[in-house]
Structure 1
Amino acid sequence: MTKTKRLVYLSLMVSQSLVLYIVESFLPPISFIAPGAKLGLANIITLSVLYISGFRDALAVLGMRIFISSMFGGGFSAFLYSISGGILGLLAMGITKKFHKLDISIVGVSVSGALFFNIGQMLAAALIIQNLAILVYLPILSYVSVGTGIFVGIVAKFMVERMSFMNFATKKIK
């Protein structure tokens, strides 16, 4: 892929990710399940990029999305929570994806990312408020993240399969 094609591709992925982030902000909250819980629609794009063009591009898309969305809609605290959860979640997805020999599907990779995203956010919150007692909320968020991870994984699988015609992906996903 030429540099220009890659730049256009990554720009489109960041744009799609931002649109999903904005759409999610207009949806009714799922706070009745767990306060602060979200679907994580923007992670559909991050996971898709991870499978289509690799970890480095997924990290670039994630970083740009978090930076831009925090700049326009969340402030510095939102940036800290998002970047800590996002990077830990992406690392977990990248490592889990490497275990393709264990037959882990894209949905399993998504669930691992969702779990570690919550772990990263809770660790950031514990550091900011300087109280580890907040980690007691982690099991509840983990329960919710399994469901949202399954949803994100199914949608990302659909997206990656449909984008395979662009010749970015090198192998078929499970």
Structure 2
Amino acid sequence: MSKNKKLALLSMCACLAMVLSFAESRIPPLTAIPGIKMGLANIAVMFALYKLGSREAVVISLVRVILVSLLFGSFVSLLYSLAGAALSLTVMLLLRRFSPFTQVGVSVAGGVCHNIGQIIMACILLETNVIVYYLPFLLLSGTVTGVLVGAAAALLIKRIKIK
């Protein structure tokens, strides 16, 4: 694949991730539990991971987190997003490379680890471990949304051919 084509695909994935993040921020909460989101932007990250490469997936994730936080969030939301994205992306990269997990399995692990990363950041920022009691709810939501996001990403990965 030419450098120009790869750059165009990278840009489209980054834009898609940002649009999905913005759209998701406009959806009313699905539960009474704060902080639970679908993680739709990870469809673009998963697509990049499997079709473009690890480095490109990292770039898309970072660009999305930074730009969405700057445009629509705050410094604190940036910290939470970076913590979640860093842990989830690290785990997804490792599982993609060293395990027989399916794309849905990699997505579930990413969703769960994103929530763990955010809980760790909350413990640091709030200087308390009490927030850990919130983790079971987030692990359940990370699993469910990870399956949905992973299924959508797997469908795109299968259907979209890149030459």
Q: Write the letter of the residue equivalent to 2:131.
A: I
For the aligned residue pairs, the C-alpha RMSD in angstroms reads: 1.1
Question: Which residue in the other structure is 2:54 paired with?
Answer: 55
Secondary structure in structure 2 of the residue aligned to 1:36: coil
Contact kept in structure 1, 2:51 and 2:162, CA below 8 Å: no
Secondary structure in structure 2 of the residue aligned to 1:47: helix
Alpha-carbon distance in 2 for matches of 1:123, 1:151: 24
Alpha-carbon distance in 2 for matches of 1:113, 1:144: 12
Aligned residues: 163
- Report the alpha carbon displacement of residue 25 of structure 1 after superposing the two structures with TM: 1.4
Q: 1:117 aligns with which of 104, 114, 119?
A: 114
TM-score with structure 2 setting the length: 0.96
Alpha-carbon distance in 2 for matches of 1:136, 1:112: 20
Q: Write the letter of the residue equivalent to 2:18.
A: L
- Report the alpha carbon displacement of residue 27 of structure 1 after superposing the two structures with TM: 1.4
Question: Which residue in the other structure is 1:170 paired with?
Answer: none
Q: Report whether the alignment pairs 1:21 with 2:21.
A: yes
Alpha-carbon distance in 2 for matches of 1:69, 1:57: 18
Q: Structure 2 regions of 5+ residues with no counterpart?
A: none
- Report the alpha carbon displacement of residue 31 of structure 1 after superposing the two structures with TM: 2.7
Alpha-carbon distance in 1 for matches of 2:47, 2:20: 13
Post-superposition Cα deviations, 1:78-137, rounded to whole Å, max 9, x if no partner, equal 11000110011011111111234xx31100000000010001001011101111111111
Question: Which residue in the other structure is 2:2 paired with?
Answer: 2
- Report the alpha carbon displacement of residue 46 of structure 1 after superposing the two structures with TM: 0.6
Question: Which residue in the other structure is 2:162 paired with?
Answer: 166
Alpha-carbon distance in 1 for matches of 2:150, 2:13: 17
Alpha-carbon distance in 2 for matches of 1:20, 1:69: 10
Question: Which residue in the other structure is 1:128 paired with?
Answer: 125
Q: Structure 1 regions of 5+ residues with no counterpart?
A: 168-174
Secondary structure in structure 2 of the residue aligned to 1:31: coil
Contact kept in structure 1, 2:91 and 2:109, CA below 8 Å: yes
TM-score with structure 1 setting the length: 0.90
